[in-house]
Structures are given as C-alpha cells and as structure tokens.
Structure 1
Amino acid sequence: MLQAGFRGQNVEVTHEPRLREQDFGNFQDPEAMDAVFAERQKFGRFYYRFPNGEAGTDVFDRMSDFQSMLFQTMDATPSSSSSKPPKNYVIVTHGLLMRIFLMCYLRWTVQEFEQVWNPSNCEIWVLNRLAPSGEYELAGRWRASPYGGTFVDIKYGRNRNQRLADFMKLQGGQCGNQIGAKFWEVVSDEHG
C-alpha cells in the first residue's frame, strides 16, 4: 500500500524493531499512570524509568545502535554495479523516538532535549543536506499546501513558543561515535 504512492520508483520498505515507542510498562492503570506521569515530570522525562518499562536512556541506547547500523548500511558499496544507493531515507516512528533520534545525531544535551516538544500526530520533521559540505541541518516541521509547502519552527521551550536555537539544528555527530559524511535525507536535493 505504501509503495503505491511511489510508482515507477525503486522503494525498499523494512521493519526495524529498535524504532518502537518507549515501553511505558505492563497493564497500565489509567489512575496509576496519572501519578506516574506526575512523578516523571518531577524526576525528568529522559531519566525516569516507568514501572516495568523503559527510561529515555534505554530508548537512546536503542537509537544509538540503530544509527550505527544505518550509517554502516549507507556507507556500504552497492553489491552490483547496476544498483544505486538510496537518495532518501524516511523513518516513520513515534514522537519521542523522533526527538531522541535528533538528540543522538545532533548531540543535544538532556536539558535541550527536554525543551523540545513532541511532534503532533503524523507530523514530518526534515533534515536537509547542506551543499557542498554534505552535513545535515534540521529544517523544521514540514507543512504541505496545495502550492508546495514550507517549514515551520519546531516547538521549543516551556510554553512551546521559543525558536529552536540554530546550533541545535546543525549536525553534531552520532552519539559520540564517528560516522561517514553521509546521512539520511527526507527531502531530495531538488526540493531542498
């Protein structure tokens, strides 16, 4: 079904279990979860471990492992001379994972991460490749329109009304590991 929107193009779709939402624990009681979320706010969203679940640090570890595999795949030589490496990568996941992906890649601090708000449902965040350096910049949230589209700022700060600092949009590396010059891009060069 997804591939129907890309007729005539070579599209590969894979499932990646490391790109799952944070585990909030077993048998979540709605009343008990209110208390858990209140405790999480006091403790800190990144370090708080849900009862029988995960902390943001666990998700960060999964993301670091995934990014290492992604970059190795991107840097690999195609198996045949006729196959071309993909030009664009699209990652479909939950909001927390999107933010942790960027935290890991852009080297946000925990404090910076906790000031970035989750995207809305089905929201698209885009990393654009900067020529000629090949580095990537967080362009923002994509807002489509009948006339094309535009980028709007990512919600940041206590009241979601601050502009994301420019240094938080620039490529900083991958969780402390060295990576190749390539990265994934959601918007192709002709749109970017």
Structure 2
Amino acid sequence: MRIILLRHGQSLGNVDELAYCRVPDHALPLTPRGEQEAADAGPRIKALVGGRPVAVYVSPYVRTRATLRGLDLGEQAERVVAEPRLREQDWGNLQDPVQQEVLKHQRHAFGHFFFRLPNGESGADVDDRLAAFLVDLETRMARDGHPATALVVSHGLTIRLLCRRLFGWSIELFESLSNLETCEHRVLTHDGTRWHLDRPFTQWRDSPDGDTQT
C-alpha cells in the first residue's frame, strides 16, 4: 500500500495574508503560479502512480480541488472523494487583521498543537479528525478492489499532523517540522508491518525531546 501526500499549489492566502479578512479560507483560489505548480506536479504524480489506478482523497477547499484538477490525472483517478477531515486547520470565519496577528504570536508562544483558536480549532483537534480518517483509509485500502495507491491532496499543517499520527511522532517533533512547500509531495509505503516515509520533512530546529523522523 502507498499513500502519496501532496500539498496544494500556491494560493491567494500564501501571498496576501489580508485575503483571509475578505475571502473565507475554504474559498481562497490558487494564484497563477499555483495553477502552474499544479500542472508541473502532474507528470511527477503520474510517474509515481505508474499508469495504475489511484484513489484520490482531497480536501474540499477550492485551492486543493483546483490543484487536483491541474494534475490532470484523467482515468487514472479511479475514485475521487472530497474529504472534509482533510481540510486546513479552522481559524474561524472571516478574520480581523489585528486579531489575526495577535493570535499568531500567542500560538507560536503557546505551541501549535495545543493552542486553540478562539473561533476555530487547535492542532490537537485536527489530529483527532485525521486519526478517524486514517482508520477509514487503511480499512478501505485493505479491501479487495481498492487501488493500492491513494493520493491525498491537502494542506501543510494537515499533512504534518497526518504523518505525526501515522508514525507516532511526539508533539515536540511535530512542532519542530516545517510545512511542505506548495505542490511538494511525500510518499508513504507500507511493507506489511509498518509505514515508511520516502524522505524527511525539513526541520527548523531539533526536537526538544530528542525524537526523530526515523
């Protein structure tokens, strides 16, 4: 079994933080650069899939669905499931720019995993919904007729937390990792006993508890 994790292409929110004040997070579109990143990622993802069918699970946000369309997988995508549990961490509704900046500083000081946004989620909340998604996904992949490869098109923090849950990484290690770049991917392979990550995430510091990605 394999899971390909792909972050969406560059979105309006990646280049203009004030966009979150006028456009709901779920509705933020890709930029022209993001559209090109998705098109460029298409051949890489197709090469990984190798001409075989793939089951696609995509966050229902506009930017992730647009990224999936840009990949142009065609008939290789045997099934496409819009999966709300793969959405980005919820920061609430339209955001106030002053409060947004204050919350970012508070979150950084408190820790990204446990800090709960007043009108949204904590990282722990996202972790919980991803745990349920992974149980469902592994059950589906074990069934006859499900493609051996699943493609998950999601968001930076969501992908990090999915791996944290799957590999049992510590919270300290999770908070030491950087998000994937836009349209960057990772491949998870199951050898019949455990999952393996094709290459580590970038770390901006060593984990304070000494935990590693291996």
Instruction: Tell me the TM-score normalized by structure 1.
Output: 0.67
Matches within 5 A, 1:1-192: 1=69, 4-7=72-75, 9=76, 11-76=78-143, 78=144, 84-130=145-191, 133=192, 135-140=194-199, 153-158=200-205, 168-169=213-214
Gaps of 5+ in 1: 79-83, 141-152, 170-192
Residues matched between the structures, number: 144
Letter in 1 for 2:178: W
Letter in 1 for 2:133: F
Supply the distance in 2 between the matched residues of 1:99 and 1:38 (Cα, whole angstroms). 20
4+ residue runs of structure 1 moved beyond 4 angstroms? 1-4
Supply the distance in 2 between the matched residues of 1:92 and 1:34 (Cα, whole angstroms). 28
More helix by share: 2
CA RMSD of aligned residues (A): 2.4
Superposed CA deviations along residues 23-71 of structure 1, whole A, max 9, x for unmatched, are 0123311121111100111111100011111001110110011111111
On the 8 A contact 2:169/2:211 being kept in 1, the answer is: no
Supply the distance in 2 between the matched residues of 1:32 and 1:108 (Cα, whole angstroms). 31
Question: Aligned to 1:91, what secondary structure does the other structure show?
Answer: strand
Supply the distance in 1 between the matched residues of 2:91 and 2:109 (Cα, whole angstroms). 17
Supply the distance in 2 between the matched residues of 1:134 and 1:3 (Cα, whole angstroms). 31
Percent of counterpart pairs with the same letter?
A: 34
On the 8 A contact 1:60/1:104 being kept in 2, the answer is: yes
On the 8 A contact 1:3/1:11 being kept in 2, the answer is: no
Supply the distance in 1 between the matched residues of 2:132 and 2:74 (Cα, whole angstroms). 29
